[in-house]
A and B are shown apart, each in its own frame.
Chain A
Amino acid sequence: MDKYVKVPMDGDVIKRLQAGDYVYLTGTIYTARDAAHKRIFDTMKNGGELPLDLDGTVIYYMGPSPAREGRVIGSAGPTTASRMDKYTPDFLDAGLKGMIGKGKRSEAVKEAMIRNRAVYFAAVGGAGALLSHTVKNSKVIAYADLGTEAVYELQVENFPVVVVIDSEGNDLYETAAERYRV
């Protein structure tokens, strides 16, 4: 069913989200993909100060194309989440509550999601032009030297996603393919 959710999310909202729900997100999310994950992870391990507070945060695995003049952002669709799996359990243990990406997650990530009551959303891969229209504001808040891989703070309005793995570990990728297998 369709749900409208404000981000960051509180625990009650997360608990109500179930694998298969179609959700429109409105609020603040942060981008981080491969290179930013590595830096954040290394900073955590070295006890340094993180560029963003992970507690309660939703991270979008995304590196946009450059914005044309007068536009907020360029094409802005999800990248493959599994490349972040190596770092994700530590992020979840540090308070990360939501992830937006596409594709399968590891068992270690699923366990950390259940342990920390977090949710994994999929956005439509290859629909970056469409998704860019839901981004109302965008600014780089860390690692500007990484270019497209910098950490962006995004204000989104009705950003469309599907709950793929909910906070109890139900995985839509497994059940949906099973259901439509002929």
Chain B
Amino acid sequence: MRIIQTSVITDHIKEMCIEANHFLAPDMEECLNRAEQTEKAPLGKKILGQLKENLQIAGEDMIPICQDTGMAVIFMEIGQEVHFEGGFLEDAVNEGVRRGYIEGYLRKSVVRDPLIRENTNDNTPAVIHYELTAGEQVRITVAPKGFGSENMSCVFMLKPADGIDGVKNAVLTAVREAGPNACPPMVVGVGIGGTFEKCALLAKKALTRPASERSPIPYIREMEDELLVSINKTGIGPGGLGGSSTAFAVNINTYPTHIAGLPVAVNICCHVNRHVVREI
């Protein structure tokens, strides 16, 4: 058994919230560089150049990449040999978010009640997904999620007969509908299978995968590549102002499902696809 003090978790989460909002993962920067070179639309190219400049300013001046510093989505993959001491883990995670958002000058974008809508003023609570794993490691992923793109995400409860074509059609429908609202170039996270809520979680987690990493399942990898090509033919382009750089990646995660169903979730993220991972 390994003992971990929850105060250590708080410190990590705080740092990760600040890091994620000021520095994009290198894979996203590479995508941006490549898109700027290949984009043919003059306005689209100009916008990609501005996004690159924006990243540079964000890191140098410590200004968040985007003013929507998101709702803090946190994946906690916890080894079953780990024992936490020093307080309730969930409180420690939220304390990390609170400190990160206050000390890091990040925007407080969370309201306590979805209809009464009073700001909590510290960006808590986070949305926390716990997963039990083997061993004695804790793997934390902090993925602050902006809502311009979150609002354009959706779940489709397809029929088994809809098959691969139905899935592709669902993804393209979501992307076309999102268009300029989701701040393209986007990253498209797709979850196929499971249940209503499981496919949404698969899609969310797919967004945290490095853009260079493809699905290990050959036919799913093919679908990822094919969908990326189709999405980049829609003409939506950077900022929705026309061009071929509409998406950087399509990441698909799958899970077994019921004989009667084919759930598909499409979670769209803008080019500010923030995810920081630490293993402790």
Binds A, one of B158-166, B188-196, B232-240: B232-240
Contact A179 B235 (CB under 8 A): yes
Set of chain A residues within 8 Å of B53, measured between Cβ atoms: 127, 130
Interface residues of A in 76-112 (CB under 8 A from B): 76-77, 79-80, 82, 102-104
Q: Which one, A68, A146, A178, contacts B62 given CB within 8 A? A: A68
Contacting residue for A64 out of B67, B148, B244, B272, CB 8 A? B67
Contacting pair B239 A124 (CB below 8 A):
yes
Which residue, B51, B54, B67, B270, has most C-beta atoms of chain A within 10 A? Answer: B67
- Contact B51 A127, beta carbon cutoff 8 Å: yes
The complex places the Cα of A125 from the Cα of B67 at a distance, in Å, of 10
Contact B242 A180 (CB under 8 A): yes
Q: Contact between B179 and A176 (Cβ–Cβ < 8 Å)?
A: no
A74 near B270 (CB under 8 angstroms)?
no
Is A169 part of the binding interface, using a Cβ–Cβ cutoff of 8 Å?
no
Contacts of A45 in B (CB 8 A): none
Q: Which of B66, B117, B240, B242 contacts A77 (CB 8 A)?
A: B66
Q: Give the complex CA separation of A176 and B239 in angstroms.
A: 11
CB within 8 Å of A: which B44-76 residues: 44, 46-47, 50-51, 53-55, 57-58, 61-69
Contact B270–A180 (Cβ < 8 Å): no
Chain B interface, DSSP helix/strand/loop, else mixed: loop
> Does B57 contact A176, Cβ atoms closer than 8 Å?
no
B contact residues around A35 at 8 Å (CB): 117
Q: In the complex, which residues of chain B have a beta carbon less than 8 angstroms from the beta carbon of A180? A: 41, 44, 235, 237, 242-244
A181 touches B67 (CB 8 A): no
Is B180 part of the contact surface with A, judged by Cβ < 8 Å?
yes
B57 with A133: CB separation less than 8 A: yes
| Contact across chains for A173 and B240 when beta carbons are under 8 A apart | yes
B237 touches which one: A64, A127, A160, A176 (CB < 8 A)? Answer: A176
B108 at the interface (CB under 8 A from A): yes
Q: Is the CB of B235 within 8 A of A128?
A: no
Q: How close is A99's CB to chain B, nearest CB, in angstroms?
A: 14
At the interface, yes or no: A59 with Cβ under 8 Å from chain B? no
Q: Taking the complex as formed, is B241 at the interface, i.e. its CB lies under 8 A from any CB of chain A?
A: yes
A11 within 8 A of B: no
Question: Which chain B positions have C-beta within 8 A of A130?
Answer: 50, 53-54, 57
* A–B pairs, 16, beta carbons within 8 Å: A65-B105, A65-B107, A66-B107, A74-B107, A75-B69, A124-B239, A128-B68, A148-B67, A148-B109, A162-B43, A162-B239, A173-B241, A176-B242, A177-B179, A178-B235, A180-B44
Interface residues of B (CB under 8 A from A): 41, 43-44, 46-47, 50-51, 53-55, 57-58, 61-69, 105-109, 117, 119, 121, 148, 151, 179-181, 183, 233-237, 239-244, 270-272
